[in-house]
């Protein structure tokens, strides 16, 4: 599974003005990322506004990305939820042949304790599929603690990676220090990408990366090569824009960048709304500096 290394991007779903899926822009987005150094693509993550896509749309978006990608980059498919048995069923019924792994967010809203989180992923591991644990407490309301992640990693080899997005960077370092050899960690927080990679992480599954794939993938590669000073030059250049794109929720910010680059149109589905004029102005000013 070492090919899921470097810059993975959680692709947005572009929409037309009538909020139907804009497949032409999706083609442009995939090609732009492939040509500019992205290492793998994540389909139907949070950034894709997957929560607001119908099952027919999810299928169409997935098939379109598979077709446009045409085996050029490894693919990861997001399948998660807060009903364990339903998530298990979805994983078992999905055609995963085009995908290297499933990215599965920890159960949200129910707020299970650590034992509940462990049992949830134990059931998913029972599918025999390659699964990436996704911990994002700011969205789920519950943290998968480092001890739980390490316990799962040691017991189930097909839980081979975590996308870690806890707000406390020490948690990333605890996992990296205690994990078994085969288990990988990628940053789920764009701003933590460089320090986490330098500490032994496998890179990032990124939002900002799809707007700046060349810069972001170069930064991660420099980190792998131990070229710390050069890597931090890129990191420092991108910190402000990375913070701006999350200021009013994701993917409102990254869609502003992608629209400015002429890759997608700037539309999101409710309950999200497009970035305010003030934020869009700030993002465009920062883009001009970069």
- Whole-structure pTM over 0.95, yes or no? yes
Give the model's pLDDT for residue 65.
Answer: 98
* Catalytic choice (40, 118, 121, 134): 134
Q: What CATH number is given to the structural domain containing 160?
A: 3.20.20.70
Confirm whether 32 is domain-assigned. yes
Is 163 a known active-site residue?
yes
- Read off φ and ψ for residue 261, nearest 5 degrees: -80, -5
**Which pLDDT value is given to residue 1?**
47
Mind listing the pLDDT tens digit of every residue in the chain (290 residues)?
458 999 999 999 999 999 999 999 999 999 999 999 999 999 999 999 999 999 999 999 999 999 999 999 999 999 999 999 999 999 999 999 999 999 999 999 999 999 999 999 999 999 999 999 999 999 999 999 999 999 999 999 999 999 999 999 999 999 999 999 999 999 999 999 999 999 999 999 999 999 999 999 999 999 999 999 999 999 999 999 999 999 999 999 999 999 999 999 999 999 999 999 999 999 999 999 99
Q: Is residue 21 in a domain? A: yes
Is 249 a domain residue?
no
Angle at 237 between CA 217 and CA 234, to 5 degrees: 35
33 occurs within a structural domain: yes
Q: Has residue 261 been placed in a domain? A: no
Bond from prior residue into 271 cis (ω within 30 degrees of 0): yes
* Catalytic member of 163, 179, 255, 282: 163
Residue 218 placed within a domain:
yes
Q: Which domain holds residue 95?
A: 6-226
237 occurs within a structural domain:
no
Q: Are 103 and 162 in contact, with CB atoms under 8 Å apart?
A: no
DSSP string, 149-216: HHHHHHH-TTEEEEEE--S-HHHHHHHHHHS-TT-EEEESSGGGHHHHHHTT--EEEESGGGTSHHHH
CA atoms within 13 A on the CB side of 202: 22
Q: What is the pLDDT of residue 216?
A: 98
**pLDDT for residue 2:** 59
3-state secondary structure of 151: helix
Q: How many domains does the chain have?
A: 1
Helix (H, G, I), strand (E, B) or coil at 82: coil
Q: Please, where are the H alpha helices in 70-158?
A: 84-93, 114-125, 137-140, 146-155
Asked if residue 82 is part of any domain, the answer here is yes
């Amino acid at each position: 599974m070492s090919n899921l290394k470097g810059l993975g991007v959680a692709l947005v779903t572009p929409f037309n003005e009538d909020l139907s899926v804009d497949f032409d822009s999706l083609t442009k987005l995939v090609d732009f990322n492939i040509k500019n150094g992205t290492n793998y693509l994540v389909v139907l993550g949070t950034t894709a506004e997957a929560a607001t896509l119908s099952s027919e749309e999810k299928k169409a978006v997935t098939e379109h990305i598979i077709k446009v990608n045409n085996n050029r980059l490894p693919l990861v498919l997001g399948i998660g939820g807060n009903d364990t048995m339903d998530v298990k069923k979805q994983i078992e019924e999905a055609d995963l042949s085009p995908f290297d792994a499933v990215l599965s967010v920890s159960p949200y809203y129910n707020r299970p304790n650590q034992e509940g989180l462990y049992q949830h992923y134990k059931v998913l591991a029972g599918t025999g599929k390659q699964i990436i644990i996704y911990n994002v407490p700011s969205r789920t309301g519950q943290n998968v603690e480092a001890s739980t992640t390490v316990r799962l990693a040691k017991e189930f080899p097909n839980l081979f990676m975590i996308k870690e997005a806890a707000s406390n960077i020490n948690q990333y370092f605890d996992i990296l220090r205690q994990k078994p050899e085969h288990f990988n960690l990628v940053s789920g927080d764009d701003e933590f990408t460089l320090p986490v990679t330098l500490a032994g992480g496998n890179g990032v599954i990124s939002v900002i990366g799809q707007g700046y794939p060349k810069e972001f993938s170069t930064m991660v590669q420099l980190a792998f090569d131990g070229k710390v000073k050069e890597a931090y030059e890129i990191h420092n250049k991108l910190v402000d824009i990375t913070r701006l794109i999350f200021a009013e929720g994701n993917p409102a910010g990254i869609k502003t960048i992608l629209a400015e680059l002429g890759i997608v149109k700037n539309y999101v589905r409710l309950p999200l709304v497009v970035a305010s004029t003030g934020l869009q102005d700030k993002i465009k000013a920062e883009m001009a500096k970069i």
